[in-house]
């Protein structure tokens, strides 16, 4: 079976949505794993009366989302940095950019003569 992909074709959209769904499933699985780990820690702390942890769901979910997003961005930055160093003689750094750039080139300052 052969699929031709153009950005406006239904096949491309199905492919793209399938990729997004796989990514979402992986994130949800990671969140579930972390949730279970925290619940186990919370259960073990209830066995010890002096050690109790108060968990709030909205803050917990936001922290998981932020952590997953940071890991994704870090992986993208690492890949972009490795690609730039392999294919360029310049020097690059990872830096947050107002324009969404993952890496920025470093330009040396030359003393005017």
Contact partners, residue 101, CB within 8 Å, separation at least 6: 95
Residue 15 shares a structural domain with residue 46: yes
Residue 3 shares a structural domain with residue 37: yes
3-class DSSP state for residue 17?
helix
Share of the chain above pLDDT 90, in %: 0
The gap between the terminal CA atoms of the chain, to the nearest Å, is 66
Residues 55-104 pLDDT 10s: 445 555 667 667 777 777 778 888 888 888 888 888 888 887 778 888 88
Strands (E), the chain: 91-94, 103-106
Mean pLDDT of 28-44: 83
Residue 60 shares a structural domain with residue 112: yes
Q: Which structural domain range is residue 68 located in?
A: 56-113
pLDDT confidence of residue 5 = 47
Domains in the chain, number? 2
Chain-centre distance for alpha carbon 37: 20
CB-CB contact of 21 with 28 (8 Å)? no
Confidence of residue 44 (pLDDT cuts 50, 70, 90): confident
Residue 42 shares a structural domain with residue 67: no
């Amino acid at each position: 079976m052969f699929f031709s992909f153009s950005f406006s074709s239904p096949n491309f959209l199905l492919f793209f949505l399938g990729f997004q769904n796989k990514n979402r499933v992986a994130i949800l699985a990671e969140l579930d794993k972390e949730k279970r780990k925290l619940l186990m820690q919370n259960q073990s702390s209830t066995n010890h009366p002096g050690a109790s942890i108060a968990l709030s769901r909205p803050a917990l979910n936001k922290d998981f989302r932020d952590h997953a997003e940071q890991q994704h961005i870090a992986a993208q930055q690492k890949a972009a940095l490795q690609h730039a160093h392999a294919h360029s003689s310049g020097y690059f750094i990872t830096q947050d950019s107002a324009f969404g750039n993952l890496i920025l080139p470093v330009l040396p300052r030359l003393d005017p003569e």
